Amino acid sequence: MNTPLRNGLLACGLAAGLLGFSGAGTETYRRADIDSLAQLQIVTSANRRIVPAKLSGQVGFEQAAISANGRAVGWLALFPNATTSYPIPLALVVLENGRRREFRGEGLPIRQWAFSPDGKQVRFRQETVHGGLGIHYEQRDVATGRLVAQFDPAAGRTPPAWAQELDASSAGSPDTLTVVTLNLWHDSHEWPRRLNVIVAEMRRIRPDVLCLQEVLQNPELRNQAETLGDSLGCHVLFASVDGPDRPKRYGNAVLTPHRVVSEGARNLEPADDYRAVGHVRFEWHGREIDAYSTHLHHTTAGGSIRATQIRHLLAYVDSTRGKGPTVIAGDFNAELGTPEMDLVAARYLDAFRAVHPNASRSEAVTFNARFGVDPGAIDHIFVVPEGARRLVPVTTEVLFRSVGPDSVWASDHYSVVAKLRLP
């Protein structure tokens, strides 16, 4: 489908110098970021700033990407959907040499897209809202919008190479598990704007499991983990000491896009500290993974309380985990090397320190000192270091360490992401 440049983008182009961007020049697209207001911001190699206008009815952007040659930038346009609480991507928009093209395929949500390696074509996959039905692939020429190829899976049919490459780019490595832990900071400091920052980054990372802490729900606020789960297409397990009949509930969550085998939760001792752990076992590339999310006592002087909680946590893990790999993540409110954390470190490996053994304190810190006294690296992802439950840390990173262009921080904590490999 070939659509003319719309007036909204033309006006934006005049303001940002977009019309001076030509195929014969050397200017390329350098960055494409979605800010906390769900607006796409594009920056060129000449430091020109482009703010694309939304399509009619569009409410947001996702999956922004730049072609390998830098000559084109594309994104998915989100639209309201009457049957879900979250918007869905119904159009792929590509900007190339000052020309915008819009692709909608067969009208279904566009779940994944990518530029071809040479940047001259785009490929995308569509399927029904909840996935698995009506799957349709298309490959389009960027310069002309021409349909180059399409594929509809059927029994016994092998997808063409370009469709397989698209699926491989979205599925992740079959032996690398991506884990993220994040303290959400409940509804403090403009939660709706922070939510946009978090969703955009999680869609970029596509974690296999997301462990959350300080998750809140009340009569005025839908459960924050469920809101995230809807946006990311994930199953949600919420663990709280507050019973399901309480109007306000506070706790931890485990989110995963994979099929869940079992789940559970337990309150941690001492009972008067109101702490819990959540557990989900899910299928991942033919293996079963046990993931746990927890949040421990917060005061500096509360080491003995945390020690009690850790003993109870480890006992719960021992009694519920399966035979496959195990991950324990969360806000432990303590750094490695403290007596209480030695209880964990004696049996489990901290993924960040395994990859960055010589990292400085400033490189490892997971609390934003702008919002209080800096307690250091207190958010952790632990894995079993040996045996059948072993996972090998490959890369780890501290996320959300910089503020967005609109001065919104994702949380008062930074997030930790780890890529873990099966041995």
Confidence check: pLDDT of 7 > 50:
no
Q: How far apart are the first and last CA of the chain?
A: 46
1 lies in some domain: no
Give the pLDDT score at 223.
93
| 184 and 323 part of one domain | yes
Query: Which of the listed ranges 14-28, 323-337, 382-396 does the model predict with the highest average pLDDT?
Result: 323-337
User: What ranges in 43-122 are assigned the alpha helix state H?
Assistant: none
| 156 and 184 part of one domain | no
More confident residue, 133 or 189: 189
22 lies in some domain: yes
Distance CA 52, CA 29 (A): 13
Per-residue pLDDT averaged across 255-282, rounded?
Answer: 95
Q: Domain of 210?
A: 176-421
47 lies in some domain: yes
| 31 and 52 part of one domain | yes
Burial status of residue 302 (CB atoms within 10 A of its CB: 0-12, 13-18, 19 or more)? middle
Paired strand residues for 381: 329
Q: Which two tokens stand for residue 6?
A: 């719309």
| 140 and 200 part of one domain | no
Domain boundary, last residue among 151, 170, 189: 170
| 275 and 334 part of one domain | yes
| 250 and 321 part of one domain | yes
Going by pLDDT thresholds of 50, 70 and 90, the confidence category of residue 96 is very high
| 267 and 151 part of one domain | no
Going by pLDDT thresholds of 50, 70 and 90, the confidence category of residue 84 is low
User: Which residues lie closer than 8 Å to 196 by C-beta, 6 or more apart?
Assistant: 34, 35, 36, 37, 38, 60
Q: What is the pLDDT of residues 130-174, one digit of tens each?
A: 555 678 999 999 999 999 999 988 756 788 999 888 876 655 556
2 lies in some domain: no
Going by pLDDT thresholds of 50, 70 and 90, the confidence category of residue 83 is confident
| 79 and 190 part of one domain | no
Paired strand residues for 390: 384
Per-residue pLDDT averaged across 380-385, rounded?
Answer: 96
Per-residue pLDDT averaged across 357-363, rounded?
Answer: 86
Tell me the CATH number at 55. Answer: 2.40.128
Distance CA 100, CA 7 (A): 11
